[in-house]
């Protein structure tokens, strides 16, 4: 079966936010300050007209509560590249941390693709309510996803799975219990949105993850998996690097084309 090719757009939901360098580079750079952004991504099919969203950003209500700087409503961001959130049919959730899934309700007609192990941990496992984990989790998103259980709008994946020709979800744990990355066929080859497998490009370059670790050994194996899959390291994209907003062609306010 022929793989369709896609364009990849990074949509900046908020930022820059300042933090210690040790947040981005585990147990290093304590004396440095870095900026990071929050994103969602849009995949536009060049051959089939499909539009797929990766992660959902943050709702206006939570952004106001957290006072996120330079916030943009995800639905407005997508509208700038002619995507109507109400019409989106497929959303891939890389993992169920609040900055990646809080906006699920903004896509009322979408099917959500998430790893089953990720879903079961955050919604069914009592361990997820312990303080170190609870700070990552979003109650509103969990409630919304739980309401979809047993319907065609919630697709729970078990490991690597192609969901469309040219789009494959890859199980890449470490940052979260079952973080998934997305391998995408593009005109430049296979690109990968790794989400928080790396917060910055530097994590991949230095073979060094961020401070948010569920399983460090699994994380390093995930790095090996992604490097073996991607066509070139320039096509392996992280989750929070400001470079994605500043170093690529700007196609609309807050939106840049990565590939």
pLDDT digits (tens, 9 = 90+) for 204-248: 999 999 999 999 999 999 999 999 999 999 999 999 999 999 999
Looking up residue 94, the CATH number of its domain turns out to be 3.60.15.10
Answer whether residue 10 is part of any domain.
yes
Answer whether residue 152 is part of any domain.
yes
The SS3 call for residue 203 is helix
Distance between CA 246 and CA 198 in Å, rounded?
18
Residue range 179-190: average pLDDT? 98
- Write out the residue range of the structural domain in which residue 142 sits: 6-172+241-257
49 Cβ partners below 8 Å, 6+ apart? none
Q: How many CB atoms lie within 10 A of CB 113?
A: 22
Q: What is the DSSP string of 133-144?
A: HHTT--HHHHHH
Answer whether residue 224 is part of any domain.
no
Residue range 109-137: average pLDDT? 96
Residue range 163-188: average pLDDT? 98
CA 225 to chain centre: 17
Answer whether residue 188 is part of any domain.
no
pLDDT at 2: 77
Number of folded domains that form the chain:
1
């Amino acid at each position: 079966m022929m793989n369709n090719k896609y364009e990849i757009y990074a949509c900046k939901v908020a930022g820059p936010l300042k933090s210690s360098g040790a947040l981005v580079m585990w147990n290093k750079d304590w004396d440095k300050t870095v900026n990071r952004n929050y994103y969602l991504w849009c995949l536009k099919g060049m051959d089939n007209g499909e539009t797929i969203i990766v992660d959902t950003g943050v709702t206006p209500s939570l952004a106001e509560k957290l006072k996120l700087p330079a916030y943009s409503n995800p639905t407005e961001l997508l509208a700038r590249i002619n995507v109507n959130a109400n019409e989106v049919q497929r959303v891939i959730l890389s993992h169920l941390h609040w900055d990646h899934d809080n906006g699920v309700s903004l896509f009322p007609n979408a099917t959500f693709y998430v790893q089953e192990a990720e879903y079961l941990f955050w919604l069914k496992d009592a361990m997820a309510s312990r303080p170190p984990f609870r700070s990552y989790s979003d109650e509103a998103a969990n409630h919304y996803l739980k309401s979809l259980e047993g319907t065609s709008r919630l697709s729970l994946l078990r490991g690597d799975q192609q969901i469309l020709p040219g789009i494959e979800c890859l199980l890449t744990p470490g940052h979260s219990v079952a973080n998934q990355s997305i391998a995408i066929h593009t005109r430049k080859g296979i690109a990968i949105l790794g989400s928080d497998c790396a917060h910055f490009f530097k994590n991949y370059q230095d073979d060094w993850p961020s401070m948010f670790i569920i399983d460090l050994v699994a994380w390093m194996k995930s790095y090996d998996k992604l490097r073996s899959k991607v066509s070139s390291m320039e096509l392996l994209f992280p989750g929070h690097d400001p470079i994605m907003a500043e170093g690529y062609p700007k196609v609309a306010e807050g939106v840049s084309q990565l590939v």
